[in-house]
Amino acid sequence: MIKKTLYFGNPAYLSLRNSQLVLRLPEIEKNDTVSDFFKKESERTIPIEDIGVIILDHQQITITHGLLEMLLDNNCAIITCDSSHLPVGLMLPLCGNTTQSERFREQIDASIPLKKQLWQQTIKSKIENQASLLEEKRKVIVKNMRIWANDVKSGDPDNYEARAAVYYWANLFPHIPDFTRHREGIAPNSLLNYGYAILRAIVARSLVGSGLLPTLGIHHHNKYNAYCLADDIMEPYRPFVDKLIVGLTEKDLKSETLTPEIKMKLLSIPVLDVMINGKRSPLMIAISQTTASLYKCFSGEARKISYPEWG
């Protein structure tokens, strides 16, 4: 089942009733001229079990502890945004699998050679998907990227990831002069930041559901980063987010700005169409297959992560 991604960008009261999220609007609640009947009719309810990701993007949103508890108990990822409307926080459940302690131990005990092999697979898949996007959308030469992908060794000691990134970003937005990929860079960097934040939340949520610690990465090891593993595993999925943003900027140059309308379009990321294990699947479902296969690698049941391919 594909879980819903909910975005709240206006003042709102969010509470819990009968295992459902209840949305009430303060401008209606506080208006004495509005009848109790209309106030009741203006409520919106959504079953908690249908929700996968929630984005809170307004400083006048009130959410009850009971609702937070129920959302986390159902493995929902909760993203909070800052005053600039950019994602700044991510809340996940501490327990997402019945055999979590055993799975934590297998993840912690994973050998360095295994981690290097998993990173090799990750970067190979990422470069291949980047090459496919450039070939599809920009019609540029990608033979070099295909060669780099095939040449990636265990642990990527030659840093083909960085080499491919330079070529990739130089060709992805040719209509934007001097574009470089940087978190604080010019548009559409803000769109990329927002899209990646949603992707990261989906991956982190799925890792928890697979009984893994999003903090312990196979490559990323920043001590200030609580989601190193999520940042690792999301790499091959980034080009699918990039494709969505390329499409938005091609249709309307104004879409390079992170408007509320663009944010709503980026909420389609969980249901983007991808190919995985020879079948088409929504991105959110594909990620659950990826994280499940990752656990099997840690437990010794498998040697390869299931990553998406360009279809």
- Determine contact, residues 75/96, Cβ cutoff 8 Å: yes
pTM of the model: 0.91
Report the pLDDT value the prediction gives residue 34, as an integer from 0 to 100.
59
Q: Give the other-Cβ count within 10 Å of 16's Cβ.
A: 18
- Is residue 43 part of an annotated ligand binding site? no
Question: Residue type for 213, please?
Answer: L
Give me the domains of the chain, ranges plus CATH numbers. 4-91 (3.100.10.20), 100-299 (1.20.120.920)
Please write the tens of the pLDDT for every residue from 64-101.
999 999 999 999 999 999 998 889 999 999 877 778 88
Please write the tens of the pLDDT for every residue from 2-48.
899 999 999 999 999 999 999 998 887 766 665 665 566 678 999 99
Pick from 211, 186, 198: nearest CA to 237: 198
Q: From CA 263, how far away is CA 194, in angstroms rounded?
A: 8
Please write the tens of the pLDDT for every residue from 144-192.
999 999 999 999 999 999 999 999 999 999 988 889 999 889 889 999 9
Report the pLDDT value the prediction gives residue 35, as an integer from 0 to 100.
65
Question: Residue type for 300, please?
Answer: G
Q: From CA 225, how far away is CA 214, in angstroms rounded?
A: 10
Q: Facing residues of 193 across strands?
A: none
Percent of the chain at pLDDT exceeding 70? 95
- Is residue 65 part of an annotated ligand binding site? no
Alpha-helical runs (H) found in the chain = 26-29, 36-41, 65-73, 100-108, 112-137, 143-151, 160-172, 189-209, 228-233, 238-251, 260-266, 283-299
Q: From CA 189, how far away is CA 195, in angstroms rounded?
A: 10
- Is residue 220 part of an annotated ligand binding site? yes
